[in-house]
Amino acid sequence: MPELPEMEIVARRLDAVLPGETIESALAPGINALKTFDPPLQALAGRSFTGVRRRGKLLALELDGNLVVLLHLMSAGRLQLHPKRASLRDRTARLLLRIPGDRELRMREFGSKQAAWVKVLRAGELEAEPSLAGLGPEAWPDPPPLRELLDAPRPLHSLLRDQQVITGIGRTWVDEILNVARLSPFKRGDDLSDEEGEALRDAMVSELGRVLDVYEEQVALPLPEKFPKPTRVHAHQGEPCPQCGTVLEAVFYEDYVMTYCPRDQTEGRVLKDRRLSRLLK
């Protein structure tokens, strides 16, 4: 669930307090989310934070000695700066970076999938790091023109969530962006007019910016387990469209929902429920 706005506010909040703090110890308890072994996790002890940056949905904790902790929370990970240390029996804990004052930067993961990951890298290795090298341009604050970028025979709903095409957007904010741009989730990228491409780009910048503004007001350290959800469309099926008041419809997939306005986005058509069509096959 953490997408660009969530990771951006996490980066801002941590970057405001972590630089200068020294890691006392580093632990990766329980299920091993740590995907690298050289340099070892223990190399982090004694290092000080120099900055925290976001790239797409990834976060880089920069340390002196040219070390970087790169992490991806995937769908169910959380990162919080706790004023107290966790019990080592906390089964959701994946990475604990302990800093003075008994505080702890804690990555946890909820749910049944174990997908969140951490890498300890040398700064010089970042350029070749596959999880970064393949990323498309940032969806915010200044994405490139979209008609050219999305020129592929694939639906917008999937293109916009493809991190190699454009990075930062997931299942939640894609619904909001497409609604504001008044575009069908199933419109093909190579079918966008110049005008539609521009409307989509404007919607992307304004929606992600709107969400960030809300987080700037509402999200504080130690960082929430659950973020506020300033959604107006995603998972709001049955409620009025924020643009026109028509009742929002949804397509349900196995583990997520795609919500849209039939009047603004699909020329009045209500799309098939994928769950039903699968059952009926």
Piece in contact with Zn ion (CB under 5 A), picked from 141-149, 213-221, 228-236, 246-254: 246-254
Are 9 and 212 in contact, with CB atoms under 8 Å apart? yes
Piece in contact with Zn ion (CB under 5 A), picked from 66-74, 141-149, 217-225, 233-241: 233-241
Of positions 75, 114, 246, 266, contacts Zn ion by CB under 5 A: 246
Are 93 and 106 in contact, with CB atoms under 8 Å apart? yes
Check residue 243 for interaction with Zn ion (CB under 5 A). yes
User: Nearer Cβ to Zn ion, position 207 or 264?
Assistant: 264
Check residue 181 for interaction with Zn ion (CB under 5 A). no
Are 117 and 145 in contact, with CB atoms under 8 Å apart? no
User: Nearer Cβ to Zn ion, position 152 or 244?
Assistant: 244
Tell me how far apart the alpha carbons of residues 273 and 250 are, in angstroms, rounded to a whole number.
8
Tell me how far apart the alpha carbons of residues 43 and 65 are, in angstroms, rounded to a whole number.
10
For residue 143, CA distances in Å to 6, 72, 214, 245 come to: 18, 22, 21, 29
Check residue 237 for interaction with Zn ion (CB under 5 A). no
User: Nearer Cβ to Zn ion, position 16 or 244?
Assistant: 244
Q: How far is the CB of 211 from Zn ion (least distance, A)?
A: 19
Piece in contact with Zn ion (CB under 5 A), picked from 31-39, 45-53, 164-172, 239-247: 239-247
Piece in contact with Zn ion (CB under 5 A), picked from 28-36, 93-101, 131-139, 254-262: 254-262
Are 136 and 165 in contact, with CB atoms under 8 Å apart? yes
Q: What are phi and psi of 204, to 5 degrees?
A: -65, -50
Are 57 and 76 in contact, with CB atoms under 8 Å apart? no
Check residue 207 for interaction with Zn ion (CB under 5 A). no
Check residue 6 for interaction with Zn ion (CB under 5 A). no
User: Nearer Cβ to Zn ion, position 100 or 268?
Assistant: 268
Tell me how far apart the alpha carbons of residues 143 and 156 are, in angstroms, rounded to a whole number.
16
* Per-residue DSSP letter, 247: B
Residues near Zn ion (CB under 5 A): 241, 243-244, 246, 261, 263-264
